[in-house]
Chain A
């Protein structure tokens, strides 16, 4: 599998292909822990937050919220403990970038968390990793022990008065825990149900204390922002989407992998057809889901010859979203009815059951898909699916409901032929 940068110098993937890349020694010999030193020597917490603001770094977990702004919401005068929690619950179908960042460069995450903890005044911090990534928790534990032994964690870090601890924590197989308030419920030892916002975690998060939850890719961008300065980092990308972005690419391409591209990379067609080696087995491109499974599916003719720019604004203009940056590429043999059914089963399985529209709605969606698949499709079913989605989208307690509705809404509208085929009795015969 390919891991590397295209169209820019590798930043977050700078070390991933080095031998022993996960060791402290290799990290340090390649620029590691210079940023935290610079922070402790010469920067105030506000200076750090300002640099991150200037960098135009946006949260890489999926929502794209400006990171510096998120940090600035944490009240400075609060007497409560503060927490930085790294969201390493990577579970969005089609997304696997965080896995390789942690597997191959764990110290970059530790350094990013140290800087965030310094900026926010947090002493105890957690890395919430999905339970299936147990081997990554083991890798992080080794790296944390190395850092502790080298005086990079604990009391008086690098001889300063800064004290900070980072601990690993395990999830146990629940997609919903990637939603930040559900993650906090889980980290407190409860079922992973999302919580009402406001109050936002910055005011009342872990143990009702001010908390920042950031994705792995977001936090690992921070050391470079500090080293090169926020402005220089922003200039690698576009005005509103600074820096570089990791894209996970899977499905029917010749070269799947994790690609680091400058934000605003031109364009999506070139990326798929050239950088990713084109469509496998000489087939034609049919569809792409560009942001992890929860975003709008795109038709090939929305991509080919359309100069879709790869950043937050460009993908919205192109008809979808950046999301988590997980490209799922599908060739001409794929039946979009079937691929959408597959994803709907995912959302049904992962609905946490807390609110009725999502719990009941995703269940009904799957029932309808199964009835159609079994040969019992009716002409009005396409509209029925859309109506059901309308009653989930924007009406569920957390964004999982929207995430379940969007793939179906876009698939029914953009691939009507694949649905009609099943609804007119020409689909799969009844078993």
Chain B
């Protein structure tokens, strides 16, 4: 008893912990409103991730550090949740994220055509972002718009009953 079998060495290089992100008073009070909904802080993790994502473009390491501090969780707890959910972006995405629904009802009515049209128009493949960081193109699973197929979600906005003309109108009118 008492014999040390394995001695854990501290790392011989400095562990890089990013400074946590900082937000405006307005955003902080928005976060407080979410926290007030739940008896347990951790429950607010997804709503807060969306806020960090909105403010910083994606859930970056300083954003993760911020959430860990704010929710009194470990950084690994935040990553563990972040990597489960497809809407939480842990890498930068374009300013406009085109998410074409590829599931059956949309596929039956021409989702592939819409994806190809977007791909050709923007000069990127599915999963890529334009060089200027303006557009990302993804294929996603059913978005509950089957009766108005085909469709894509442009950031959070639904664009339904799509034709190539409607895709042009939607993308060309963006600021």
Cα of A421 to Cα of B140 in the assembled complex, Å? 29
Q: Give min CB distance, B108 to chain A, whole Å.
A: 5
B46 touches A172 (CB 8 A): yes
Residues on the B chain within 8 Å of A91, using CB: 141-142, 144
Select from chain A the residue with minimum beta-carbon distance to B86.
A173
Q: For chain B residues 130-175, which have a beta carbon within 8 Å of chain A? A: 140-149, 153, 156-158
Taking CB atoms, residues of chain A closer than 8 Å to B96 are: none
- A250-B43 contact in complex given A93-B103, A133-B144, A174-B86, C-beta closer than 8 Å: no
Residues B37 and A169 in contact, CB atoms below 8 Å apart: yes
Note all chain B residues with C-beta closer than 8 A to A334: 108
Question: A135 and B158: CB pair below 8 A?
Answer: yes
- Assess whether A250 is in contact with B147, with CB atoms less than 8 Å apart: yes
> B81 to A190, Cβ gap below 8 A?
yes
A278 within 8 A of B: no
CA distance A91 to B101 in the complex (A): 12
A189 with B142: CB separation less than 8 A: no
B108 — which chain A residues lie within 8 A by C-beta?
250-252, 328, 330, 334, 339
The count of residues in chain A whose C-beta lies closer than 8 Å to any C-beta of chain B is: 56
Which residues in window 97-156 of A have CB below 8 A to B?
98-99, 124, 126, 130-135
B105 contacts partner chain A, Cβ-Cβ < 8 Å: yes
A187 at the interface (CB under 8 A from B): yes
Residues of B within 8 A of A343 (CB): 103-104
**How many Å from the CB of B35 to the closest CB on chain A?**
11
Q: Which residues of B contact A387 (CB under 8 A)?
A: none
Task: Determine if B147 and A346 form an interchain contact, defined as CB atoms under 8 angstroms apart.
Answer: no
Q: Mark A322-357, 1 if CB is under 8 A from B, else 0.
A: 000010101000100001001100100110100000
Q: Note all chain A residues with C-beta closer than 8 A to B87.
A: 131-132, 172-173
Residues of A63-113 contacting chain B, CB below 8 A: 81, 90-96, 98-99
Within 8 Å CB of B47, what residues of A?
169-170
A168 to chain B, nearest CB (A): 8
| Shortest distance from the beta carbon of B30 to any chain A beta carbon, whole Å | 12
In the complex with contacts A248-B146, A250-B149, A293-B104, A173-B43 CB distance below 8 A: no
Closest A-B pairs by Cβ, 7 of them: A189-B42, A250-B146, A172-B85, A173-B87, A173-B86, A250-B105, A191-B84
> Could you name 14 residue pairs across A and B whose Cβ atoms are closer than 8 Å?
A132-B156, A167-B38, A170-B47, A171-B46, A172-B85, A172-B87, A188-B42, A189-B46, A248-B146, A252-B108, A293-B104, A339-B104, A339-B107, A342-B104
Residue numbers of B with Cβ under 8 A of A are 37-47, 49-50, 71, 80-81, 84-88, 102-105, 107-109, 140-149, 153, 156-158
16 new A-B contacts, CB < 8 A, other than A189-B71, A252-B108, A343-B103, are A91-B144, A94-B142, A95-B144, A96-B144, A131-B87, A132-B143, A132-B153, A135-B157, A172-B88, A189-B40, A251-B108, A293-B103, A293-B104, A328-B104, A339-B104, A343-B104
